[in-house]
Structure 1
Amino acid sequence: MAESKRGSSGRGFTRRCASLVREQRARIYILRRCATMLLCWYIQGDD
């Protein structure tokens, strides 16, 4: 009985961690895109 309870909470923890990782990866992706655009605009404006 205790084994199945621990297993289900473990899966919930894993799912929560996976969703947090996915969210952080999305944020990092957006930040990288913004930084790249800003850098390109800065370099273009240097001419």
Structure 2
Amino acid sequence: MVMMKPENITSFCDHQIRVRDSCRSLGERCCRVVKELRARFYILRRCVTMLLCSNELNEET
């Protein structure tokens, strides 16, 4: 009977997680990328809006 050291078990589990992630369907990966890009675009849009509004306030005073 071969006993595995704890670090070997951890690396085995990490490998299984990586393999599972790489086997995700193309649709799941695309969906995740689209969500991330939408979130980044939303943040960018909010920042631009705040800059434009602050510029308008500065011009009025």
For Structure 1 versus Structure 2, the TM-score category normalised by the shorter chain is 0.7 to 0.9
- Normalized against structure 1, the TM-score is what? 0.75
Alpha-carbon RMSD = 1.3
| Count of residue pairs brought into register by the alignment | 38
Q: TM-score, normalised by structure 2?
A: 0.58
Unpaired segments of 5 or more residues in structure 2?
1-22
Structure with bigger helix share is 1
1:18 and 2:31 matched: yes
Query: Please, which runs of 5 or more residues in structure 1 have no aligned partner?
Result: 1-8
Q: Which has the higher Rg, Structure 1 or Structure 2? A: 2
- Runs of 4+ in structure 1 displaced over 4 angstroms? none
